[in-house]
Structure 1
């Protein structure tokens, strides 16, 4: 269901009853046909159930007419506020809408700016004021859920849908913004307040400690305070599962409580006569697992572990043996029933996959090795078995993971986590400081491993079938000793690594205008070369489109090295993420139109200035810089008008990336180059601002395709209506990144092929349309 462009109509559910009846009727005659019918009924039931849940969630929506308008609401801070450089982001449950006629979804996400932040005239905040579980009245401005859409990119709209967030926005400046109640007494809010209290206590106790964010994540699952450079070490060494709340942590905590309760209960003869110690301990262990999972945010790994603990406890309670596969299947069923959207989360596949691999190599084996050898076998199995999903999800896997985990798992799980829990839950600073010292000591060898050039294997995104074949090969390779030809399982991994996407033909260029919101980043690829023109915006020290969008796309496309990087000018929406790109991938030459004191220029002493007339040829494709000319550099002072403009030509087909040049620079280009500007594709200058796209410039370029790189409902109002109409009058076909997502142009001898990410991979949560609604609208000619 989560792969569909449309929600199913109710008729899909009509197949369930006939299929069940047919299956039961066929059972005495043909078991095979009976099972086929019953499986068909199960499939229809699951598909319809997921569609029904999605329809209910999508029905709670913000009408387009109320986007961007001030609305007064009353509600409760529903989750732990996430602190950033610019302010706080928090989930908000709307209880009452005070603005007459306004319709607001129950679950929204708000941003409250810090004092001094000027963006969008938001209200200013002292972050210490806001706490989970408080009831507030706010004046807010909202928009419907929207995120960037790029190949192999993070789907923010799906993320919001799964969490029940049906609108996002920010708190407006208003004297009537005030706290109504300091705490709303409801179970979910009490849990969030407890998490908030623990986080604040730990921040105070560990003030200034470099790994304070990690310890908070280990205690309550809040990873928002972990710096990006630390995440890089965790990812490169493959221990990031330990920094999240892993199932091992929940299991250890539950087992510890089980042992303590059983030990204490057995000390009393009267208590053991009232109730068996083992059953009381089971209740204690399950309760501990539930409480810990709740306090850590109830993410998929914690859910999976809790439901497995419940299944195992029920089996022990009834004195029955339950196979590990049934325990895992029970947990899987409960997770997807409660959260049908979990199926697309990376943690879902990695968490359940890791436990399945552990059961596979540790259960039903005749010979039991020693504990140390068994731990090594388990670690080897998890490392090998998770390579296929890691390649599909992230296009990379850590090669030093076995060594790093062999060191980190005992340290974190058996020393750091117990100390963190004691310090966090009892409010003691000493255990927290000891845990921090141990973790900091443990990071020394991990940082060394992460710094190794060969620490991580990265490659192109593999076809799905190669990952399935490799998974079967892993099962074969990890089979018990004596299984014939186990070594042959390794051969099944070869297609995963060796089957690279076909290279572009000579004389063809592929230009991907990435969707980075209000900004610009264009990847240009030929047969053997790759160029990045601008890198998109940087939002704060830990969030930028370079690491979130550009680098994942390059990795998925198999681009291990950029031959060149062009930064058109110093504005954040073009140059903000260039540093992250330079950190994340080797870059050959660097060309920019930047001031001499710009940090990027200082960082790359070999940086070349953009100059009109610079040209080069890659694989039969011509690249020419059209701007800035010597005259522009001598007379123009605005950074926009001194920016780089690139023209690319393949087999007579041309594309221009015009950055942020304005009308003055456009006139200079027209007078100097005239008909040479004529191009089939134009990445519109300055995102469709009124100061750009003059009539003379559009007439000279005469683009068949005009692409506006804009953020959804951006505060500048780009693209301006009169500019859009100007291109339409010249006959250009118009594309907007906020509507199309990433746009991919392929120019070559066969012409121009165009692909829009939102059309290539349509999903129901991006349109909210059901099949019935689509048919109805088609019937009316819409």
Structure 2
């Protein structure tokens, strides 16, 4: 039990480091030495006080050890970076493809280990992520065939790791840092890109190459089958092969964990091999030479190691493999095994080998699930039947992971126990074994048996996922409520006496329910009457703004779309869900350009929207998705909770659209409060600016301005900036925008005017509150700064 507590201290030390805005100086680690010596001295006296004090100091030592161990490896990783001067430059490199490529409609993405830089004086990180885009002038077969382990000479353009920064949205830069990707970029078209003769292949690349071969084999054999991607994911761990619609089904039914090759898959395969090897060894009469159990354990472990490498060695796989290895060693040495100490040692080992695993949601969910299973099967009097035991475990996992899922994803599946009761046996005992056997040459036909079974299972899951109360969604709860609920769940699941009800065994276990109540009763903070909260989301090269009053929410634009991925799905919806917004009173899509409308359909599909205002044509799918859809027209106005909203442009809906001047047809919205006002002009240019100046003149004055057209030189005329007279000017731009936004001349114009400037590529989401006769403004990168983030110049200065 103590090893588990000490391991948790080490883990929380590593997690504490990941919350720092800057890395600590290492001389502070010297302070651990006298504390460790004090532990040794205290434990030597063997008195009750000295033992308790020694253990308390040992916890502090483990906490500090985890903190500085993670800091040490963070320093090493940060040292391998891309200098800013080499961003966007053509660089010739030689290296090895380190993982199987991911193919999309537009490109192929893969990780690349740089072995040699051919461009003189260029500095390039050892580990980069590259995209090889299709040439739009050719057909879809213009991408080369790339396999893991191949050595290539490439000409690339790189940039430092960068992602959008928004509340309640996963930090993409953290994910890149966790995977040791120190630059991203793309392959430049040209004849200099060529495959080189492979002189040697690292053993790890052999497994990646085998994964790629199996994936290609499955794709060929199951061409045209709807769930081929699921079978690929279950076999080689390629979750990108699963379409987003199918992921939606798994999410709503709480079965997503089955699509990651998890500990259950590893354990299942090892168990099957154990049974076969055990019977075969005994049947061969070799048990006198070596006990059949020991031989079978070794066989199961060897197969588990191979499957783990084939699956990509993710955190849940590592956890299962390390636990299995410790148990096998203990059984081999005829030692007794206790599950919780084994879990503690594995927890420590995983974080020592990979300190960044603590920022991955899968780390916490995987270890928490195993800990819950240990909790409900240990210390019990009597043995329940198989069905009763299975139901108890499912109930414990569903209940126990509730707090974690709410803080990580703000939603949980209410039908998870039913869906898992259907899916786990079928997938674990039928589909996975058939898919794994199909990797053996000559047995590919087994996929044609596995797929119909999977298709039936998916049909059941889709039906369950479409039930009205399939999922529970709410705002992100505070950390203290999550901790209280977690302790309450543990107390609730403690052992009780057989047949004596919840009050038996540990006393008053029902109090665990009360500890979880704050998780649901704490309401999200709201603006007061007459106040306005404005969040300009960081969606890259695009625009999306959430406007909230006391009882209403308006979404202005939804950011860009990138094929199946769009900012509506990955930025807007997580933000709304985390803030507790269950419905939109109005959505305004300023114009049809994809950087403003690309996420609209994803948002409309998943959240109720009462009214749509837009300049888009009547027959567009976005218009059809909302029954109450209207053209935005100058003169439209309304009051919400003491806040005044007014549409200033366009005057007529048809003329501009017919001429295809989509930017000039943007819906221009002004929101006015007693504390200040904000103007949202979309992508209008100088023609529309002049029109607005003629029609409204001084009425355009606003405290906050979302700079028109992302700071393009074709907008923000001198007279427009002077008339609007913004105290705060916000540029919504992508990092290293290929359009050159914002233009230096426009930036200088706002600086000369005295406006405080914000840039979404530097500042992330901009958070403004119109309260108490004032406007408070902050940025998400400042509030949520981590040591792996780049530092940017002050918003008041031109960069």
Tell me the residue number matched to 1:610.
632
SS of 1:461's partner is coil
Tell me the residue number matched to 2:584.
562
Tell me the residue number matched to 1:44.
64
How far apart in 2 are the matches of 1:526 and 1:113?
43
CA drift at 1:23: 1.5
How far apart in 2 are the matches of 1:78 and 1:126?
22
Structure 1 consecutive aligned stretches of length 4 or more whose deviation exceeds 6 Å: none
Please list the CA deviations of residues 632-673 of structure 1 after superposition, one character each: whole Å capped at 9, or x if unmatched. Answer: 946975110111111111114011111100111111111111
Out of 758, 761, 769, the position equivalent to 2:784 is 761
Contact 1:124-1:173 within 8 A present in 2 as well = no
SS of 2:274's partner is helix
How far apart in 1 are the matches of 2:328 and 2:202?
28
Tell me the residue number matched to 2:10.
none
Tell me the residue number matched to 2:269.
253
Please list the CA deviations of residues 603-643 of structure 1 after superposition, one character each: whole Å capped at 9, or x if unmatched. Answer: 33531001111111111111111111239946975110111
How far apart in 1 are the matches of 2:348 and 2:259?
26
Out of 187, 193, 198, the position equivalent to 2:214 is 198
SS of 2:438's partner is helix
- TM-score normalised over the length of structure 1: 0.95
Tell me the residue number matched to 1:114.
134
Tell me the residue number matched to 2:611.
589
How far apart in 1 are the matches of 2:320 and 2:660?
61
CA drift at 1:32: 2.4
Please list the CA deviations of residues 412-436 of structure 1 after superposition, one character each: whole Å capped at 9, or x if unmatched. Answer: 1011110010012445222111111
Tell me the residue number matched to 1:777.
none
Contact 1:157-1:766 within 8 A present in 2 as well = yes
Out of 600, 604, 612, the position equivalent to 1:578 is 600
Tell me the residue number matched to 2:27.
11
How far apart in 2 are the matches of 1:649 and 1:515?
23
State the aligned residue count: 765
Tell me the residue number matched to 1:687.
710
Q: Mapping of 1:666-745 within 5 angstroms?
A: 666-745=689-768
Contact 1:112-1:125 within 8 A present in 2 as well = no
CA drift at 1:519: 0.5
- TM-score normalised over the length of structure 2: 0.93
How far apart in 2 are the matches of 1:697 and 1:527?
31
CA drift at 1:447: 1.0
Cα gap change, 1:727/1:427 in structure 2, threshold over 3 Å: closer, same or farther? Answer: farther
Does residue 552 (structure 1) correspond to residue 566 (structure 2)? The answer is: no
Out of 491, 495, 502, the position equivalent to 2:525 is 502
SS of 1:703's partner is coil
How far apart in 1 are the matches of 2:25 and 2:487?
36
Alpha-carbon RMSD: 1.9
Cα gap change, 1:754/1:183 in structure 2, threshold over 3 Å: closer, same or farther? Answer: farther
Out of 598, 621, 637, the position equivalent to 2:620 is 598
Contact 2:611-2:626 within 8 A present in 1 as well = no
Out of 482, 486, 494, the position equivalent to 1:479 is 494
How far apart in 2 are the matches of 1:127 and 1:627?
45
Tell me the residue number matched to 1:93.
113
Q: Which runs of 5+ in 1 are unaligned?
A: 775-781
- Structure 1, 215-224 or 487-496: larger mean CA deviation: 487-496
Tell me the residue number matched to 1:778.
none
Contact 1:58-1:768 within 8 A present in 2 as well = no
Please list the CA deviations of residues 512-568 of structure 1 after superposition, one character each: whole Å capped at 9, or x if unmatched. Answer: 00000100000011111101000001101x211111010010001000000000000
SS of 2:550's partner is coil
Contact 2:557-2:596 within 8 A present in 1 as well = yes
Out of 403, 421, 446, the position equivalent to 2:436 is 421
Does residue 133 (structure 1) correspond to residue 149 (structure 2)? The answer is: yes
Tell me the residue number matched to 1:160.
176
How far apart in 1 are the matches of 2:534 and 2:791?
30
How far apart in 2 are the matches of 1:646 and 1:177?
49
SS of 1:204's partner is helix
How far apart in 2 are the matches of 1:255 and 1:602?
53
Out of 383, 389, 396, the position equivalent to 2:398 is 383
Contact 1:15-1:41 within 8 A present in 2 as well = no
Out of 57, 80, 101, the position equivalent to 2:77 is 57
CA drift at 1:279: 2.2
Q: Mapping of 1:53-452 within 5 angstroms?
A: 53-116=73-136, 126-127=142-143, 129-181=145-197, 184-269=200-285, 271-426=286-441, 428-452=443-467
Contact 1:650-1:749 within 8 A present in 2 as well = no
How far apart in 2 are the matches of 1:22 and 1:347?
37
Does residue 457 (structure 1) correspond to residue 477 (structure 2)? The answer is: no
How far apart in 1 are the matches of 2:137 and 2:354?
37
Q: Mapping of 1:536-547 within 5 angstroms?
A: 536-540=559-563, 542-547=564-569
Contact 1:135-1:184 within 8 A present in 2 as well = no
- Structure 1, 255-264 or 645-654: larger mean CA deviation: 255-264
Contact 1:87-1:125 within 8 A present in 2 as well = no
Contact 1:550-1:581 within 8 A present in 2 as well = yes
Tell me the residue number matched to 1:641.
664
SS of 1:103's partner is coil
Contact 2:42-2:53 within 8 A present in 1 as well = yes
